Structure 1
């Protein structure tokens, strides 16, 4: 299992071929998820080297489906993983585990009882509880969706943010401890912004 070559391959593909209109789901997001997944895994007590390697590969490949499609990109990520990972020495059961982790990140997230899937899901949405960059990151997703005609205006976006933040929960104790309190603060801010917009239009 040559993880480094597998990572290098997908990084090169993402650098060269991702649409520049992917303001949120760009290479920077993938690298952030890789970093957060590793941090969460260590804090969650994952020490098995193979599990750590497969989680890392899944993080690198989890949004690679955006190379070919927007809707259903998780399944497309798995298609790519099944195509290329055998060439890097990954065995079929390892690839299937990677694909299970990738599919768990599909909205609404569904990691089940898999510890690794819960870690990847939390890494994927880590920014929800980050005070420093929640709003800048949120705006990139708004821009990405608006560019595709999937988001009408800022009011609609803030309504979606309030709904999403209200129903989202982290899956691991570590992410909950690190991010939940700040996420609730971002929810309060989103409600304030939405109320302010409503007042300005009346």
Structure 2
């Protein structure tokens, strides 16, 4: 099956040393995204035929990190196009795959149901209990790959703003994941309150 070939090829790419060094955008994340696509698809009663190009896009969507961090979607789509066209896959299906991949660029802008499913699958963790752990991995990755460092308060404010502005596109995302995301926002806000109170107490103590 084509999906099996895609899976093997992308797992090989994502097992390269440069991708192994990624704290967040690694093979584990890609496995999660593919599983998330299936979860969302099953909740909508979509057929395996409909989901096939989305799952393929899910396997390829982060392979472009091999070439570029900030423009990885462009290269991921290119890798997918080269692989699929070499196997004479229909161009209209290849277009679905590449469009889905490019739609995951932040801020997400999906223009089809297929792209909406991949976009929600890619940020699925925002609405689950995995968010806190995955968020710390992303912070570490930004420090290592982008040399962007944040104090705890700045990091919390950045993520509260991002989660508050971000929205899901599928029904599953707007219901199930949105509820989980609200819980995560509240958790971040409570941590921020604790930090700001602690900082205020220290300042007052210095002037006492």
So what's the TM-score if we normalise by structure 2? Answer: 0.90
CA RMSD of aligned residues (A): 1.5
Query: Aligned-pair distance for 1:52?
Result: 1.3
Of 123, 126, 135, 1:125 maps to 123
* Partner Cα separation in structure 1 for residue 106 and residue 150 of structure 2: 20
* Partner Cα separation in structure 1 for residue 97 and residue 19 of structure 2: 24
Q: How does 1:5-44 map to 2 (within 5 A)?
A: 5-44=5-44
Residue 137, structure 1, aligned to residue 127, structure 2: no
Which has the larger Rg? 2
Answer with 24-33 or 90-99: which moved more.
Answer: 90-99
Residue 108, structure 1, aligned to residue 107, structure 2: yes
Specify the alignment match of 1:193 in structure 2.
191
Query: Aligned-pair distance for 1:155?
Result: 1.9
Partner secondary structure for residue 153 of structure 2: helix
Query: Aligned-pair distance for 1:8?
Result: 0.9
Q: Structure 1, residues 33-81: CA drift from partner, whole Å, max 9, x if none?
A: 000001101111211x432111110000011111111011101101111
Q: Structure 1, residues 73-108: CA drift from partner, whole Å, max 9, x if none?
A: 101101111222222342222211101001111111
Answer with 61-70 or 83-92: which moved more.
Answer: 83-92
* Partner Cα separation in structure 2 for residue 78 and residue 90 of structure 1: 15
Higher relative contact order (CA 8 A, sep 6+): 1
Specify the alignment match of 2:160 in structure 1.
162
Question: What stretches of structure 1 of length at least 5 have no aligned partner?
Answer: none
* Partner Cα separation in structure 1 for residue 181 and residue 55 of structure 2: 25
| Aligned length in residues | 199
Partner secondary structure for residue 84 of structure 1: helix
So what's the TM-score if we normalise by structure 1? Answer: 0.92
Query: Aligned-pair distance for 1:177?
Result: 2.0
Q: Structure 1, residues 141-192: CA drift from partner, whole Å, max 9, x if none?
A: 0111122312332222111110011111111111222221121011011111
Distance verdict in 2 for CA 1:186–1:117, change over 3 Å: same
Distance verdict in 2 for CA 1:30–1:92, change over 3 Å: same
* Partner Cα separation in structure 2 for residue 42 and residue 18 of structure 1: 34
